[in-house]
Chains A and B, each alone.
Chain A
């Protein structure tokens, strides 16, 4: 019992992934600034933002549902932390001894988005409900290609639905990104995580310009701090999942530490560059993009995986 609590709260869980996620969020902002020929924020900026938000007043909307509004960020943080634990434990080589964690992960990775929707709808703000409906449509569009890519990974890993076995297959036969279906799947999953993280081509749910941060519009103070922390953790957990699925996972022995860090930074760099070189699309365009093109890509990846390419 004590070990599980340690896993959840400290080492791969809340504290560790919060700190690394904060660092990655700074990395993201710094790269954005450098792309735009700016200087960018200092390295402790995510920490400053978080502590400042914790110290501020939290306002609850008069007409909204108070309990749902305040508990939605807590559950979002819980889902993000749980998914980071389930991703990082196999990635770090700690045996958890349970099969099928990839199925659990599919559900856990959706909890933050669903909680944003619930919290936004509980705030009784019209902009927030527009944001929530867009987020809902976005989930419906990116989830199918995401599942298909996971299916191609499972087929390539000899029908194993355990993350540590997927890593073991990759360390025996080489990383999945080295094959044709791996490259197609990698491109597809990059687009899916762009939408999952709510970054620019698909940040329709929290468009600052038109619906003023959408789902997070009514949040202030410590509730907003929890949402920010959830975003930091997701910014670490999802690139870590991509590294695990396509690039052979992470290894924390000797020089391999450097490689693991570089792999995660590479994925974050890619999504940051995509976010900096694209305009925001409309929800209709995003759905069309995922349902037609990304599904096509993912199905091709699955078929190639069946033929062992």
Chain B
């Protein structure tokens, strides 16, 4: 394992994109930053701009309005970038899969590296998912 890969794994900056979710997954993502879970132990932190991001966390079904935005966000991120679909909606569409505004799921729009199911997924599940992904890269 080279220095580059090691540093990439040790310092993941997360960008959070909500593609029309009910905000439940978003709150669970913020839970990862709280003292109980504390993702900063692994060097992860939330950043405000997608230009700084290494991981894009996508939550929610992809609606017709957010589809183009998601594509644009993916284009604007500096590569290498990892995309993680969080929650049942982002993975499959969930209970909204037959809705009139459903235009996803995420992997139809952008390439997804990891799926974390759950409605919402527990913070433990998110950490485990990202760790598994890191060991695979």
Contact = CB atoms under 8 A, between A and B. Distances in A.
B113 interface: no
B51 interface: yes
A46 B10 CA distance: 10
Interface stretch (A135-143, A207-215, A286-294, A301-309): A207-215
Nearest to B80: A56
B48 A213 contact: yes
Contacts of B7: 47-49, 51-52, 55
Indicate the size class of the contact surface on chain B: 20 to 34
Given A38-B40, A42-B43, A57-B78, A52 B35 contact: no
Nearest to A46: B11
Interface in B14-69: 35, 38, 40-41, 43, 46-49, 51-52, 54
B96 interface: no
B130 to A, nearest CB: 16
A217 interface: yes
A198 to B, nearest CB: 14
Contacts of B40: 29, 33, 38-41
A52 B11 contact: yes
Contact of A213 (B3, B8, B52): B52
A220 B8 contact: no
Given A33-B38, A41-B40, A56-B80, A51 B52 contact: no
A45 interface: yes
B79 interface: yes
Interface string A53-74: 0011111000000000000000
Contact of A220 (B3, B35, B52): B52
Nearest to B10: A48
A221 B48 contact: no
B8 A45 contact: no
A209 B48 contact: yes
B78 A56 contact: yes
A37 interface: yes
Interface residues of A, number: 33
A36 interface: yes
Interface string A204-248: 000011011100111111001000000000000000000000000
B4 interface: yes
Contacts of A47: 7
Contacts of A37: 35
Interface string B62-98: 0000000000000010111000000000000000000
Given A41-B40, A45-B10, A219-B52, 12 more contacts: A36-B35, A39-B38, A39-B40, A45-B11, A51-B3, A52-B11, A56-B80, A208-B48, A211-B48, A213-B47, A213-B52, A216-B52
28 contacts: A33-B40, A37-B35, A38-B38, A38-B40, A39-B41, A40-B40, A48-B7, A48-B10, A48-B11, A49-B7, A49-B11, A51-B4, A52-B7, A55-B4, A55-B8, A56-B54, A56-B80, A57-B78, A57-B80, A58-B78, A59-B51, A216-B49, A217-B49, A218-B49, A218-B51, A219-B51, A220-B52, A221-B78
